[in-house]
Amino acid sequence: MIKPILFALSLVALTTATTVTAQNNRQRTRATANNTYYQRQNHLLDSVISRYIELDAQESRSSYMSGDNPADDLYEGAWGTSGVNANRVEVSEVPDSVVISCKGYVAPVIGSTTSHFGPRGSRNHYGIDIALHTGDPVGAAFDGKVRITRYDRGGYGYYVVIRHPNGLETVYGHLSEIKVFQGQSVVAGQTIGLGGSTGRSTGPHLHFEARFLGNPINPEKLFDFQENKAIADNYFLVKRNSFDWAYGGRSYRSSSNHRHSSSRGARYHKVRKGETLSGIASRYGVSVKELCRLNRLSRRSVLRPGQRLRCS
Ligand SMILES: [Zn+2]
């Protein structure tokens, strides 16, 4: 686990950052009156961030140099090779806020973005698509260690998953050829495969994902794909924002389907007034027992309107 102090610090930083942003937006017209307030807040934020970066650098280095897998503390030593979210971590289990260092990022390919993260047809698109020509080299986004090399006929095609010391994992899909092996250490920018159009794909492109504890974050929240650099040295993961797709954001379809293409994902239900466990269970074709198990409820649990239940 990440040391509590890092969370505490990141939480302070995030709270402060949110406050500053909200204040900026709300009170732009009254800015002069509040100048000293902003200065104080910004100063506090700066000192917290720089302190954090120091700790983060030590932490990353030590976990990476230990000779084990990167970010092992975070993943509790789990190194499954069965899929992108091999540990099956739910968004609810991810810490509320984490600071992720984006230093050392190298764009996997240089090309135009042809599809963004978000809803696509009846499911979510958990990465972004970048145009390329078949055979173009695709590079690792950060230093790291290859967790998966695999072929997924109906989805990613030939794909690679790399775990990085900053806790992120990156996924590279539709490759025509894989140039690394599972367990191999790679450096940022190193060719890990060649671009292609394997799997569920209509033309050559790279499908690129960024995941934290198995759950996807819109890569465009972290990286600028026009400038081909990280947006900032640190990304502040805030669960509600970073995993907005899991919270039934307006335009997102609720699903914890972690596969690029599959209809086997979890389904969620937002409880409405008067609904019962048995009513919801029958609607989704599951037993009350299963519904309780999925949501860690007892049969006598009182449902709140607006509560989200996992139904499959
Ligand atoms: Zn894609």
Give residue 68's pLDDT.
76
For ligand 1, the distance from its centroid to the CA atom of residue 199, given in whole angstroms, is: 11
- Angular region, 214: left φ>0, alpha ψ -120 to 50, beta rest: left
Specify whether 126 is located in the same domain as 39. no
For ligand 1, the distance from its centroid to the CA atom of residue 146, given in whole angstroms, is: 20
For ligand 1, the distance from its centroid to the CA atom of residue 130, given in whole angstroms, is: 8
Specify whether 279 is located in the same domain as 238. no
Is 253 within a domain?
no
Amino acid at 109: V
Domain final residue pick, 48, 65, 82: 65
CA distance 166 to 87: 18
* Burial (0-12, 13-18, 19+ Cβ within 10 Å), 145: buried
- Residue 123, strand partner residues: 120
Specify whether 243 is located in the same domain as 284. no
Is 205 within a domain?
yes
Specify whether 197 is located in the same domain as 298. no
Give residue 98's pLDDT.
93
- What CATH number did the domain enclosing 299 receive? 3.10.350.10
- What CATH number did the domain enclosing 116 receive? 2.70.70.10
For ligand 1, the distance from its centroid to the CA atom of residue 256, given in whole angstroms, is: 17
Specify whether 114 is located in the same domain as 189. yes
Specify whether 12 is located in the same domain as 58. yes
Number of domains comprising the chain: 3
Specify whether 136 is located in the same domain as 243. yes
Give the residue among 237, 214, 231, 4 at the shortest CA–CA distance from 98. Answer: 237
Is 232 within a domain?
yes
Specify whether 55 is located in the same domain as 173. no
For ligand 1, the distance from its centroid to the CA atom of residue 143, given in whole angstroms, is: 23
Antiparallel, parallel or unpaired: β 144-152 and 137-139: unpaired
Is 304 within a domain?
yes
- Residue 101, strand partner residues: 234
What global pTM score does this model have? 0.64
For ligand 1, the distance from its centroid to the CA atom of residue 157, given in whole angstroms, is: 11
Domain extent at residue 179: 91-247
For ligand 1, the distance from its centroid to the CA atom of residue 276, given in whole angstroms, is: 38
Q: Torsions phi, psi of 22, nearest 5?
A: -60, -45
The answer to whether 91 touches 166, Cβ cutoff 8 Å, is no
Averaged in consecutive runs of 10 residues, what is the pLDDT profile of the chain (312 residues)?
Answer: 47 47 49 49 52 50 58 87 86 92 97 92 90 98 97 96 97 98 96 97 97 96 97 95 82 44 57 82 75 82 84 77
Specify whether 157 is located in the same domain as 237. yes
Query: DSSP string covering 4-42, please?
Result: HHHHHHHHHHHHHHHHHHHHHHHTGGGGGGGHHHHHHHH
Is 83 within a domain?
no
Specify whether 210 is located in the same domain as 140. yes
Specify whether 221 is located in the same domain as 99. yes
For ligand 1, the distance from its centroid to the CA atom of residue 115, given in whole angstroms, is: 7
State the residue for tokens 């050559």. 204
Radius of gyration over alpha carbons of the chain, in Å?
Answer: 21
Specify whether 60 is located in the same domain as 16. yes
